[in-house]
Amino acid sequence: MKALLVVDVQNDFCPGGALAVPDGDKVVSVINGLMEMFDIVVASKDWHPSDSVHFKKWPPHCIQNSNGAEFHPLLAANRINRVFLKGTRNKDDGYSAFEATSDDLEKVLREKKVVDLYVAGLATDYCVRASALDAVRKGFRTYVVLDAVEAVNVKPEDGVHALEELRKAGVALISSRDIKT
Ligand SMILES: [Zn+2]
């Protein structure tokens, strides 16, 4: 089985949001198209308490139940089978979707006999990176869909470096056009 993991396509990570990824909203239409090619679609949400040490490092974003924590309004969220909430405690954690506290992502994927995990969403250099690295370490055949991710680029080359690190770790870097139904 193959599954699509949609990482953090939330208002605060899109233009106008509290921690916007430049062009973050560009992934939405690509991901909506991808979702139709997968029987299993899971998604993560950054879901922080308002008081968190995470915000010593980052501007406050994706506060639980706030509009900023909602999925981008054009994301076809009705096609998501299960949402995993991460960064839910007063800790600097939750970069990887596998750190979700609301549910065990690895367990859910194993129960559904997922072998191939396709990763899309935001941001290439943080939560996509951490999620894809965890996935490949856990033994999933892991793909990052290049036209369905965008980088924050706190430093200009961060996204490029993250993709290089992923490739070296055994993650396949592909285009959405390479995916067969
Ligand atoms: Zn966060």
Dump pLDDT digits (tens) for 82-111.
999 999 999 998 999 999 999 999 999 999
Bigger pLDDT: 180 or 110?
A: 110
Q: What is the mean pLDDT of residues 145-173?
A: 97
Q: Is the pLDDT of residue 167 over 90?
A: yes
Say which residues have a Cβ less than 8 Å from residue 77's Cβ, sequence separation at least 6. Answer: 43, 71
Catalytic residue from among 14, 45, 62, 127: 127
The DSSP letter of residue 148 is E
pLDDT at 181 over 90: no
Does the annotation mark 86 as catalytic?
yes
Q: 176 exposed, middle or buried (CB, 10 Å; 0-12, 13-18, 19+)?
A: middle
Considering the candidates 46, 86, 125, 134, report the single residue annotated as catalytic. Answer: 86
Mean pLDDT rounded to a whole number for the chain: 97
CB atoms within 10 A of CB 153: 17
Q: What average pLDDT does the segment 161-177 reach?
A: 98
List 8, 12, 25, 125, catalytic entry: 8
> In which residue are the tokens 């899309």 written?
120
Nearest to 14 by CA among 2, 23, 4: 23
The average pLDDT across 141-145 equals: 98
- What's the average model confidence in pLDDT over 136-140? 98
Find the mean pLDDT for residues 33-59: 97
User: CB–CB of 118/5 below 8 Å?
Assistant: yes
Q: What spacing in Å lies between the alpha carbon of 11 and ligand 1's midpoint? A: 12
Average pLDDT over residues 8-17: 98
Query: Ligand 1 mean position to 177 CA, how many Å?
Result: 30
Q: Is the pLDDT of residue 140 over 80?
A: yes
Among the listed residues 116, 121, 162, the one whose alpha carbon sits nearest the alpha carbon of residue 139: 116
Give the mean pLDDT of 34-52: 97
Q: Are 64 and 25 in contact (CB under 8 A)?
A: no
Catalytic, 127? Answer yes
CATH number assigned to the domain covering 2-178: 3.40.50.850
| pLDDT over 80 (residue 20) | yes
